[in-house]
Chain A
Amino acid sequence: MAEHILVLAEQLEGQLTDVTLELIGVARRLAASRGSGVDALVLGDGVSSLAATVPADRTLLMEHPALRLFNPEAAQRALEAVARETSPWLVLVPNTSLGMDVAAAVATRLGWPLVAYCQAIEERDGQLVATSQLFGGKILADCPVGTDHAVLSVLAGAFSSEAAAPEPPARIERLTPPAELDALRVRATGLERPEAADVDITRAEKIVAVGRGIESKDNLELAEELAEGLGAVVAASRPLVDAGWLPRSRQVGKSGLKVKPRLYLALGISGAPEHLEGMRDAELIIAVNKDPKAPIFDVAHYGVVADLFDVAEALQERLGG
Chain B
Amino acid sequence: MTLAVILKQVPDVVEELAIAPSGTDLDRDSVSYVVNEFDEHALEEALLLREATGEDVVVVGVDTTGELDQALYTALAKGAQRAVKLVGDFEGSWLSTRALAGLLAPVIRELSPRLVLTGVQAPDDLDGQLAPTLGALLDWPHTGVVVGTELADGVVRVRKELWGGIMLDLELATPAVLGIQAARATPRYVPVGRVRQAMRESTIEEVEVETPVESAPKLSRLRAPEAAGRAEMLTGSPSDVAERILEILRARGLY
Q: A residues engaging B (CB < 8 A)?
A: 12, 69-73, 76, 96-98, 100-109, 113-117, 129, 132-144, 153, 185-194, 206, 230-231, 238, 242-244, 248-249, 251, 254-258, 262-263, 265, 270, 284, 286-287, 291, 293, 295, 297-307, 310-311, 313-315, 317-319
Residue B135, interface by CB 8 Å? yes
- The closest CB in chain A to the CB of B140 belongs to A185
Let me know if B228 and A298 touch, CB within 8 A: yes
Give the contacting residue for B230; candidates A96, A139, A298; CB below 8 A: A298
- The closest CB in chain B to the CB of A188 belongs to B170
- Distance in angstroms from B189 CB to nearest chain A CB is 13
A135-B13, A185-B173, A303-B231 known; A311 and B241 CB under 8 Å? yes
What is the bound-complex CA distance between A178 and B153, given in angstroms?
Answer: 28
- Distance in angstroms from A36 CB to nearest chain B CB is 24
- Distance in angstroms from B128 CB to nearest chain A CB is 3
- Distance in angstroms from A2 CB to nearest chain B CB is 21
- The closest CB in chain B to the CB of A244 belongs to B186
A104-B132, A105-B136, A311-B241 known; A305 and B233 CB under 8 Å? yes
Give the contacting residue for B167; candidates A101, A192, A300; CB below 8 A: A192
A139-B19, A143-B126 known; A297 and B231 CB under 8 Å? yes
- B186-219 interface code vs A (CB 8 A; 1 in, 0 out): 1000000000000000000000000000000111
**Set of chain A residues within 8 Å of B225, measured between Cβ atoms:** 133, 137-140, 295, 298
Q: Count how many pairs of residues, one from A and one from B, have CB atoms less than 8 Å apart in the complex.
A: 257
- Distance in angstroms from A138 CB to nearest chain B CB is 5
Give the contacting residue for A72; candidates B13, B165, B169, B170; CB below 8 A: B170
Let me know if B181 and A101 touch, CB within 8 A: no
Residue from A100, A305, A317 whose CB has the most chain B CB atoms within 10 Å: A100
- Distance in angstroms from B214 CB to nearest chain A CB is 10
Residue B168, interface by CB 8 Å? yes
- Distance in angstroms from B139 CB to nearest chain A CB is 9
Let me know if A188 and B169 touch, CB within 8 A: yes
- The closest CB in chain A to the CB of B97 belongs to A104
What is the bound-complex CA distance between A231 and B253, given in angstroms?
Answer: 12
**Set of chain B residues within 8 Å of A185, measured between Cβ atoms:** 141, 172-173, 176
- Interface of A: prevailing SS: mixed
- B12-42 interface code vs A (CB 8 A; 1 in, 0 out): 0110110100000010000000000000000
A191-B168, A298-B228 known; A255 and B141 CB under 8 Å? no
Let me know if A311 and B165 touch, CB within 8 A: no
Let me know if B143 and A242 touch, CB within 8 A: no
Residue B52, interface by CB 8 Å? no
A114-B127, A140-B222 known; A101 and B11 CB under 8 Å? no
Let me know if B136 and A257 touch, CB within 8 A: no
- The closest CB in chain B to the CB of A261 belongs to B254
**Set of chain B residues within 8 Å of A114, measured between Cβ atoms:** 127-128
What is the bound-complex CA distance between A139 and B225, given in angstroms?
Answer: 6
What is the bound-complex CA distance between A293 and B249, given in angstroms?
Answer: 25
Residue B145, interface by CB 8 Å? yes
- Distance in angstroms from B97 CB to nearest chain A CB is 7
What is the bound-complex CA distance between A242 and B182, given in angstroms?
Answer: 7
**Set of chain A residues within 8 Å of B157, measured between Cβ atoms:** 189
A139-B224, A304-B245 given; 5 more Cβ-contact pairs under 8 Å: A105-B132, A138-B13, A192-B169, A299-B231, A301-B232
